[in-house]
Chains A and B, each alone.
Chain A
Amino acid sequence: MLQVQDLYCERQRRILFEGLSFSVHSGELLQIRGSNGSGKTTLLKILTGLYEDYTGEVDWDLDSWPLFVSHKPGVKDQLTAQENLQWLVSLHQSGVEGLQVGQALRSVGLAGYEDVLCGAMSEGQRKRVNLARLFFIKSQAWILDEPLSAIDLEGVSLLQERIGSHLDDGGMVIVTSHQSLDVEHEVRYLNLGDTA
């Protein structure tokens, strides 16, 4: 589970959040909402440990590392979809097999694109290569920053389905999105900016 206590963060002399406390347990979905610049991405970066300029407590209690999907796709233009995904997965677990990688690519609708350079792909396809990690890496907690942007309708429903099955398996999901998620589970909301 994740426990956040009394978080305070200031950026460009603007207080993003003050006295922010919340917790996420396994099987829960937390959607962070807020206008542009309200600190959604900063909050996610604090949760992952990338951003350290804050006061307060962030406590993770997990068996595996959280998986962070940032709004930057993290794929290299000069590598193919298969090579990119294989590399991204190898950052989290060793002994990755090509066959499994191909399977994960097919499950995000990229069948036939395994050997296409990511530089020749559209924004949404590159994003899908990154999101294919969700079908592959076993991680208890997912932190997703705008996972639905640049993804088409079919991809959105695919992703929502995957989020649902992850929650069923006892995983937790923290997501920022301007769209409302259509999953069978209860969605908890955290509004940044107006309520902070």
Chain B
Amino acid sequence: MLIAIIKRDLLVTFRNPAEVLNPLVFFVIVISLFPLGISPSEKVLSDIAPGVIWVAALLATLLSMDLIFRSDYEDGSLEQMTLSEQPLILIVGGKIISHWLMTGLPLTLLSPLLAMMLFVGEQGILAITLSLLLGTPVLSLLGAVGAALTVGLQKGGILIAILILPLYIPVLILATEMIKTGMTGGDYSGHMFWLGALFALSVGIMPIATTAGVRISLSH
């Protein structure tokens, strides 16, 4: 079932790629505007790089979060999934995984290129990629709860941001600290363990919360 829902969601997305490209394009544009807006100097750019890349990744994820349940809610698919004989948590889990495959993973894969643009050294690039690899699934998992709770509302986008941004802050702080440590050649395995712990925690809790959120949204 998990695989079936991932396959279905990816197929739907590939037939309508504009939706999934939006957050990616947003990510690239925001990052490439910083050298133009602040300063093209190597010192300044490599200083702000961790923050810029992570803030852009975070906002791009937030922007795409509303899509995870919206169209399924509107065309009645979500209703059918809730009434399925398959456990809803598997379906919700599959949707979160496919959301990450369509946003978090491409962001992570693009990040080395953008990091080079901001004059980040080799060690820093590795840290950025690793932090995104561990951090973006957490963003998808947390965001899914907000998306599930707001899917029944007309203008859910802003509400998701208000609900979820505070929960994103620890991930942001840990990840940027990890990159800064990495850029100065330090050992950042401690940060990675913490990010991994956040990931494990959200894998355990967030699908349950999202499932409850979907049920609440559908009962109105």
Q: Counting CB contacts under 8 A, is A115 at the interface?
A: no
Which chain A residue shows the least CB distance to B79? A70
Give Cα A70–Cα B1 distance, bound, in whole angstroms: 22
Q: Counting CB contacts under 8 A, is A75 at the interface?
A: yes
Q: Which of A48, A65, A74 lies in contact with B76, CB distance below 8 A?
A: A74
Q: Counting CB contacts under 8 A, is A194 at the interface?
A: no
The segment out of B9-17, B98-106, B166-174, B196-204 that lies at the interface is B9-17
Encode A69-96 as 1/0 by CB contact (under 8 A) with B: 0111111111100010001101111100
Q: Which of A52, A78, A92 lies in contact with B84, CB distance below 8 A?
A: A92
Q: What is the interface of chain A mostly: helix, strand, loop, or mixed?
A: loop
Which residues on A sit within 8 Å (CB–CB) of B81? 91
Which residues on A sit within 8 Å (CB–CB) of B33? none
Give Cα A181–Cα B123 distance, bound, in whole angstroms: 72
A-B contact count (CB 8 A): 65
Contacting A at CB under 8 A, from B80-99, are 80-86
Give Cα A76–Cα B78 distance, bound, in whole angstroms: 11
Most A-side CB within 10 Å, residue of B74, B79, B81, B218: B79
Most B-side CB within 10 Å, residue of A53, A72, A92, A94: A72
Asked if A91 contacts B218 (CB within 8 A), the reply is: no
Encode A32-56 as 1/0 by CB contact (under 8 A) with B: 0000000000000100111111000
Encode B100-131 as 1/0 by CB contact (under 8 A) with A: 00000000000000000000000000000000
Chain A interface residue count, CB cutoff 8 Å, equals 28
Give Cα A83–Cα B7 distance, bound, in whole angstroms: 11
Q: Which of B8, B79, B83, B219 lies in contact with A87, CB distance below 8 A?
A: B8
Asked if A91 contacts B80 (CB within 8 A), the reply is: yes
Asked if B83 contacts A76 (CB within 8 A), the reply is: no
Q: Counting CB contacts under 8 A, is A136 at the interface?
A: no
Which chain A residue shows the least CB distance to B73? A72
Give Cα A50–Cα B219 distance, bound, in whole angstroms: 6
Give Cα A52–Cα B216 distance, bound, in whole angstroms: 9
Q: Counting CB contacts under 8 A, is A113 at the interface?
A: no
Give Cα A76–Cα B74 distance, bound, in whole angstroms: 10
Which residues on A sit within 8 Å (CB–CB) of B76? 70-74
Asked if B86 contacts A91 (CB within 8 A), the reply is: yes
Asked if A79 contacts B11 (CB within 8 A), the reply is: yes
Measuring CB to CB, which residues of chain B are less than 8 angstroms from any residue of chain A?
1, 4, 8, 11-12, 15-16, 71, 74-77, 79-86, 218-219
Please, could you name 8 A-B residue pairs with CB atoms under 8 Å apart, sorted by A? A51-B219, A71-B76, A74-B76, A74-B79, A76-B8, A78-B11, A91-B86, A117-B15
